[in-house]
Every structure is written in C-alpha cells, then in structure tokens.
Amino acid sequence: MDYDKCTTAKKDKIIPLKEKRSEFRVLNRSRKQVKIVDVDNCLITDSDLKCDYIVEYKGTDDRDAAMFVELKGCGLDHAIKQLQSTLDLTKSRYKSFHKECYVVTTRFPKCGTTARRMKIDFFNKNKATLTLKNCKIEATI
C-alpha cells in the first residue's frame, strides 16, 4: 500500500469529504496539518472491503490519531464491515494511533438500543469508537 501516493495534506479550517448526499467535515480551527488518505479510490485497489477515507492528524495530546470514514447511502451493516476490513488491512500502520470510525448515511434505520449495541461491540473488537449519523457529521480536531 502506497500511503504517500494516496495522501493529500491540508491545513484548511474546514475540510469536507463528500459522496452524493453524505458529508463528513473536519473542523480544523487551529489549522493543523491534516492528511487525507483516499482509501477506496487509491490505497486499497483490490476487491477487499474498504472505507472511503482515513484522516490522520496530531491529537490535542500530540498523539497520532486517525479517523476512518465511510460515506454511505444506506446499508449500515455493510458500512461497518467496510470499516472493520480497513482497520484490519491497515493495522500495522495505525497500531499506535488513537482511532475513531464514522459512518455517514443518507438513511439510518437502526436507532436506540440496536445502534448502541453495534457501537459497543465495535469498540470491544477494535478499540475504536464508532459514530453513526445521517447526512452530515462534523468532527473537531
């Protein structure tokens, strides 16, 4: 996997990642360097399940952090499998990173205890948080 070839560095205050009606926005008020890794169209080119993007940055405690992002129309279960697969395929690079995972859907049918159980199971398996939301998510770094 050629991370350098698939990575774009940005210092914008707002960094939008969009696909159709789903949007993930990185709010970068302090204009830190943020690296956007294009996973789906560049980093992983075979037929493996993969998420759309990985956002790398230095956290507030100067610890390396990564946000795994899947922009989806619907199909929440499939989106979670894509995140899981990407975490597995990239584990050597992101082993020491703080990891957060995000699924942005245009339709979110599961709510309440079902979504909560999915988040808990995902965290227990991956040691990474999982955020699920419709249409747009903003994450502040």
Which amino acid does the sequence have at 78?
Answer: H
- Number of DSSP helices (H) and strands (E) in the chain, helices first: 3, 9
What's the chain's average pLDDT? 88
Q: What's the confidence (pLDDT) of residue 109?
A: 57
102: which residues sit within 8 A by CB, 6+ positions away?
A: 24, 67, 68, 69, 70, 130, 131, 132, 133, 137, 139
The residue extents of the domains of the chain are: 7-140
- Token pair of 117, please? 């159980």
Q: Identify any residues that bridge with 15 across adjacent strands, giving them in sequence order.
A: 26
d(CA 66, CA 59): 9
pTM, full prediction: 0.89
Model confidence at 22, pLDDT cuts 50, 70, 90, reads confident
Q: What's the confidence (pLDDT) of residue 111?
A: 60
Model confidence at 27, pLDDT cuts 50, 70, 90, reads very high
**Nearest by Cα to 15 from 138, 130, 134:** 138
More confident residue, 37 or 105: 37
More confident residue, 67 or 107: 67
Q: What digits encode the pLDDT tens for the residues 47-59?
A: 889 999 999 999 7
Task: Rounding to the nearest 10 degrees, give the CA dihedral for residues 116, 120, 121, 125.
Answer: 150
29-60 as b/e: b if 16+ CB within 10 A: eeeeebbbbbbbeebbeeeebbbbbbbbbeee
Q: What's the confidence (pLDDT) of residue 13?
A: 95
- Note whether 51 and 69 are within 8 A (CB): yes
Res. 118: pLDDT tops 90: no
Res. 77: pLDDT tops 90: no
Res. 1: pLDDT tops 70: yes
Res. 92: pLDDT tops 70: yes
